Chains A and B, each alone.
Chain A
Amino acid sequence: MSEAAETEKPKKKGKWTRRAFIGAGVLAGGALVVGVAVRPGNPTDEMKKRLAKGEGEELINAWVKIAADNKVTAIVPHVEMGQGSQSTLAQMLADEMDADWEKVEMLESPATARYASGAIGREFLAPTLEVPKILEPTVEGSFLKIADMMDLQITGGSFSIRGTGQRDMRTAGAAARQMLIAAAAEEWGVPAEEITTARSMLSHKASGKSATYGEFAAAAAAQSLPVRPKRKAVGEFKLMGKPMPRKDIPSKVDGTAIFGIDAKVEGMKYAAVKAPPVVGSTVEKIDANAAKTMPGVLQILNMGDFVAVIADGYWQAQQALGKVQATYSKSEGQSLDQDAIFKRYSDALDEAGSDGGDTEISEGDAVEAFAGAAKKVTAEYKVPFLAHATMEPMNCTVSVKDGKCEVWIGTQAPLRIRRAVAESLGLGEDDVTLNNAFLGGGFGRRSEVDHAIMAARLAKAAGYPVKLIWSREEDTAQDFYRPSSTSRFEAGLDEKGRVVSWNNIHTHLFDPQEAPTVPYYAIPNQLVRKVDVPMHLRFGPWRSVDHSQQAWFIESFVDEVAEAAGKDPLVLRRELLEGSPRHLAVLNKAAKMAGWGSEMPGGHGRGIALVPSFGSIVAEVAEVDMTGEKPKVSKVFCCADVGFAMNPDAVKAQMESAIVYGMTAALYGEITIKDGAVQQSNFHDYQMLRMNEMPEVEVALINGDAERLGGAGEPGLPPVAPAVTNAIFAATGKRVRELPLSKMNWA
């Protein structure tokens, strides 16, 4: 039957309304496109051309493709950087459409604005906005527009599953299933309600008819679009909530997975680069005499803002680059040292005092309540700059030819890269084709565009394809750092040891801020403020963004308040979370897993922390052994409520990896500045957590709300540092007020 359908021109039955954007998608020219196709003039035919390439393949909609051989391809707009969300997104789509998981494949969507995600725009611009149902389509539409403008085909913000998955993939899957049923009902002349679906098959029991999805793929594309396709209730889930093996794992095990750095392009040469050590400086002069005679060297370039060597091989380029002598212009930042940075912070905080700065939260009168408090607690905490240290260093391969450009990269933000490259070359965005590969770690670093612009400029200057690879030293010294920060707290207790006031001010270097604006402890008088401190360095999102600093500040101070109130840290947290049942359940579960309150040997201690972030709630209990020369974290118990764990195995893996990444930062992570430049260069002075330092990790999941999902990639990170430092206090009585722990003398 597919043959007949192919020759038949697809009918246009569906009609687009604003409402349909939320519902499911569009039917136009035989292709069904979900969500982002709502705008007038969307070239769905072009989409169809790009995605449905095979013989007899029909594009059902932008998120799902069904081939005549019954193979289902989930087209996902998010990238694979180790977090596994592509696979889970496919799982969500497959479940809603009753597809056979064995026959489901994934395809990363091409970098076109049609996949720009409105949900992430909304998340950034108005995360707490409550929208009446009737206005939703309009609101979503406007956020979509903003997302499009901001080039947000982004993977970040722990948002793929809870945003794209929950909103788009499931809707698309349900719509596809409904359209397949409608097509079969029409062909077989039976009521649609009597047709059942399972494992990519349609069946009608009474007539004994059955067919594969593939057989009806073409006919389904001509069916009208369900405005609000019915999605499964939790009880009907077959794949969602199951620990399905991730589809990206086999290729990573057998080595066939292709990362950005694996790009191979006909005729490409290799570039190594070095930017001025101080951000804001330019390259004044280069002496390339020694480099010119080095083997393999093709070109030596002063690009103004960096020096480059292009050679036949990467190692040759890097070796020759080391022989190029460069002088740099003086710049504003070059007089800045590490101590001066923290001095700036404390000066700014001094000036703001107890009620100055920009107010983020103000409830009651924290200043007055503190003045009249029976007991007062104050503390100051400091955290350093951090680098991302992705395992795969920054790289990008670019070919520029005849006014067209092609880019090979592994990026969290394909559209942003495409636009940046187009602008840097003076081309239109449609002249730039982007090929995105797996990312060897992202953590926020790969949402930046700097390395792609460099590669594009070099390829243009050279006249042949160039593969740019940063050295580890360049990667460490030219990052967009997690800001350092100083935070001060004042809390007041009444005679009964109840917390009556909470006053916090912290330094602020980089938007967006989320953490300090989400108070989760019920304290009657709260004042939370920030003070901006300008600096020449570049800052960017780092796994869990500002929660990485704020959670450590807040959860350390809550522990100090508990100590002052003479209460167990768990007991005080329970009191402050009385009105938040989900938070309490997570806290109590983690405490129970760890056997909170049970005896520990001398020199050992337990610490707890709870942090809500990215829509999820995570509590962790760390056990430390302080009997050696330095702290040894022996166990971490983690309980996470991500709403509903679509793939529990993947969620657990994310919690574990966030704990490793967070422990690396807590134990060792520190970028320092001298004369305006970063002092660290490689893993010997920017250490990672080692295998023998890895604690045993136990993760439990709670499905607290299947309707409102939270993220998984980041929320596991914030609680680990405070859990560890609170444990150190429990073991030693020493309060840690500055990270990393490697700075402290434990003798």
Chain B
Amino acid sequence: MKNTAIGAAALSLLLAACGADPAPGPTEQIVVREPGQAPKQAAAEPATDDAPAGDIIATGKEAFAVCSACHAVEADAPAGPGPTLYGVVGRKAASVDGFGFSEALKASGIVWNDAELDAYIADPAAKVPGTTMAAGAVGDAEQRKAIIAYLKTLAG
């Protein structure tokens, strides 16, 4: 009984799908340009920021792109895979409200200063075994230094 019913339902679906008209084209189509055609405005903008070369904060901000996949930098940003890093320097570890920190980080007793941040960013799992920060280790010491310099700017 039951099987017949299921079969019939499946077949009726099938029949309904038969003989469909082609799907509609666009109701509005704005062609900005054809492929290969040069853009009207020069698209070649300088790749770098207008910050002077050697500016450690600008370097840090650029290097932070990797971190930004998980971390926001605004004070009231919603939590992503990682907590917001607004005001992180000088803060106690695992102290952002509303983020589900690992037990390990909560128990770490760390207060984020240059040295602690440097060690953590270098290898999170080695610094705090059990942390949920599984990605984002930065091997390059210069880059870490720049990132930390940038993090310091993230405060009111």
Size category of the A interface is 35 or more
Q: In the complex, A194 Cα to B35 Cα: how many Å?
A: 67
Q: In the complex, A569 Cα to B31 Cα: how many Å?
A: 66
Cβ contact within 8 Å between B81 and A684: yes
Cβ contact within 8 Å between B29 and A299: yes
Cβ contact within 8 Å between B35 and A269: yes
Q: Which of B94-119 contact A (CB under 8 A)?
A: 102-103
- B78 near A: Cβ within 8 Å? yes
Size category of the B interface is 35 or more
- A45 near B: Cβ within 8 Å? no
Instruction: Choose among B11, B26, B80 the residue that contacts A461 (Cβ–Cβ < 8 A).
Output: B26
Q: Which of A282-307 contact B (CB under 8 A)?
A: 283, 286, 288, 292-293, 295-304
Cβ contact within 8 Å between A125 and B6: yes
Residue of B at shortest CB range from A422?
A: B22
Residue-by-residue, is B21-44 near A (CB-CB < 8 Å gives 1, otherwise 0)? Answer: 111111111111111000101010
**Residues of A close to B7: CB separation below 8 A:** 124-126
- A675 near B: Cβ within 8 Å? no
Cβ contact within 8 Å between A124 and B30: no
Binding site for B on A (CB under 8 A): 124-129, 146, 149-150, 267, 269, 283, 286, 288, 292-293, 295-304, 312, 360, 423-426, 453, 456-457, 460-461, 464, 511-513, 517, 628-629, 683-684, 690-692
**Residues of A close to B134: CB separation below 8 A:** 690-692
Cβ of A410 to closest chain B Cβ, rounded Å: 22
Query: Apart from A128-B3, A457-B25, A628-B103, what are 11 other A-B pairs with CB-CB below 8 Å?
Result: A124-B6, A267-B35, A292-B32, A296-B39, A297-B32, A298-B34, A301-B26, A301-B28, A304-B26, A464-B35, A511-B10
Cβ contact within 8 Å between B24 and A295: no
A-B contacts, CB under 8 A, total? 100
Between-chain CB contacts (< 8 Å), 19 pairs: A125-B7, A126-B7, A267-B35, A288-B30, A292-B30, A293-B41, A298-B31, A299-B32, A300-B32, A301-B26, A301-B29, A423-B23, A461-B25, A512-B10, A517-B2, A684-B80, A690-B134, A692-B132, A692-B134
**Residues of B close to A128: CB separation below 8 A:** 3
Cβ of B125 to closest chain A Cβ, rounded Å: 10
Q: Which of B114-140 contact A (CB under 8 A)?
A: 130, 132, 134
**Residues of B close to A283: CB separation below 8 A:** 27
Cβ contact within 8 Å between A150 and B26: no
**Residues of A close to B20: CB separation below 8 A:** 423
Cβ contact within 8 Å between A511 and B9: yes
**Residues of B close to A424: CB separation below 8 A:** 22-23
Q: Which of B27-81 contact A (CB under 8 A)?
A: 27-35, 39, 41, 43, 45, 78-81
Cβ contact within 8 Å between B27 and A302: yes
**Residues of B close to A460: CB separation below 8 A:** 25
The DSSP consensus for interface residues of chain B is loop
Instruction: Choose among B21, B22, B25, B81 the residue that contacts A683 (Cβ–Cβ < 8 A).
Output: B81
Cβ of A177 to closest chain B Cβ, rounded Å: 37
- B16 near A: Cβ within 8 Å? no
**Residues of B close to A127: CB separation below 8 A:** 3
Residue of A at shortest CB range from B6?
A: A512
Q: In the complex, A424 Cα to B23 Cα: how many Å?
A: 4
Q: In the complex, A124 Cα to B2 Cα: how many Å?
A: 12
Instruction: Choose among B3, B43, B45, B132 the residue that contacts A129 (Cβ–Cβ < 8 A).
Output: B3
Cβ contact within 8 Å between A426 and B22: yes
Cβ contact within 8 Å between B132 and A684: no
Pick the 8 closest A-B CB pairs, nearest first. Answer: A426-B22, A424-B23, A302-B28, A125-B7, A300-B30, A301-B26, A684-B80, A126-B3
Cβ contact within 8 Å between A304 and B102: no
Cβ of A740 to closest chain B Cβ, rounded Å: 14
Q: In the complex, A283 Cα to B27 Cα: how many Å?
A: 9
A692 and B102 in contact (CB under 8 A), knowing A129-B3, A298-B31, A301-B28?
Answer: yes
